[in-house]
Amino acid sequence: MADIDIIKDENIVYKKSKVLTDNVMHYCPGCSHGVVHKLIAEVIEEMGIQDKTIGVSPVGCSVFAYNYLDIDWQEAAHGRAPALATATKRLMPDKYVFTYQGDGDLASIGAAEIIHACNRGENITVIFINNGIYGMTGGQMAPTTLVGMKTATTPYGRDVELNGYPLKMTELVAQLPGTCYVTRQSVHTPATVRKCKKAIRKAFENQDKKIGTSFVEVTSTCNSGWKIPPVEANNWMVDHMFKFYKQGDLKDSEKDNPDDYKKFIE
């Protein structure tokens, strides 16, 4: 088949989302950020909400998310994205508002903001990239770093005596009545990518229902920070991260407990 035939509309089975810009991503090979960006872009395009979506980008490797998704963005200070999303959604309730945050941003410096946004049941979507490390600043320990895991600031491995325990933010926010949908996904295989996209879509659609905060953790790899090549990093994530960060839905108010859900919207 000639090129010209391939690009005929009826032959196209897959193409780049229009919501993704043409900018070349700065992410390292194997990094999960780029895949998740793509999924969000596809969801926004498929829902037809490009003109109604406001993203809040974090401080971390994804600080430049605004260069890759062609929507309006607010760049937050480190950890503060949920506060920004709160105000934006309350001032413009007809918009779709989401934060995109790393684990240093969300679970460490921004722990207060995320807990209170979730606890108020802000009608927003939170995308939480948990790669167990501070990527941007060169691979230091995050609150989510596994016990024994080596990082720039835990060169002998995370020691509970010295550094405390890894923090399961997703389990934590699932307990708050303000969250309606809390799930943990990954993007290391085609199947998980498809599942993750469904979760992101649901998390955006929940904003129409006004039922509280939707929270999607994506357990992720950080090849540069972990100092493991991409394929091995995926395996390491499955073998180690998934044992501690159990994959799947933690909470789905509509499914789990219809009464809770009704109570919430009354």
Partner 1 sequence: MGELKLMKGNEVIAHAAMRCGCDGYFGYPITPQSEVMETLMLKKPWETTGMVVLQAESEVASINMVYAGASCGKKVMTSSSSPGVSLMQEGITYIAGAELPCLLVNVVRGGPGLGTIQPAQSDYYQTCKGGGHGDYNLIVLAPASVQEMNDFVDLGFELAFKYRNPAMILSDGAIGQMMEKVELSDFKPRWTDEEIQKISGSWATTGKTADREQHIITSLELDSESMEKINHRIQAKYRKMEEEEVRYEEIQCEDAEYIFVAYGSSSRICQKSIEIARAKGIKVGLLRPITLFPYPTKAIAKLAERVKGMLSVEMSAGQMVDDVRLAVNGKIPVEHFGRLGGIIPTPDEIVEALEQKIIGGK
- Residues at the interface with ligand TPP (CB under 6 A): 59-62, 78, 102-105, 129, 131, 133-137, 142, 222
Smallest gap from Cβ 135 to partner 1, in A, equals: 16
Binding site for partner 1 (CB under 8 A): 50-54, 56, 63, 66, 70-77, 80, 83-88, 90-92, 95, 112-113, 116
Of 28 and 193, the one with the shorter C-beta distance to partner 1 is: 28
Number of Cβ within a 10 Å radius of residue 145: 26
Of 82 and 102, the one with the shorter C-beta distance to ligand TPP is: 102
67: nearest Cα among 78, 77, 79, 55 = 55
Of 73 and 261, the one with the shorter C-beta distance to ligand TPP is: 73
Cα separation of 241 and 222, whole Å?
12
Smallest gap from Cβ 95 to partner 1, in A, equals: 6
Of 66 and 226, the one with the shorter C-beta distance to partner 1 is: 66
Task: Name the binder of 61 from ligand TPP, partner 1, none, CB < 5-8 A by kind.
Answer: ligand TPP
Cα separation of 146 and 197, whole Å?
26
Cα separation of 180 and 203, whole Å?
9
Torsion angles phi and psi, residue 24, rounded to 5? -75, 125
**Residue type present at position 128:** F
CA 257 to mean position of chain CA atoms: 25
Smallest gap from Cβ 189 to ligand TPP, in A, equals: 21
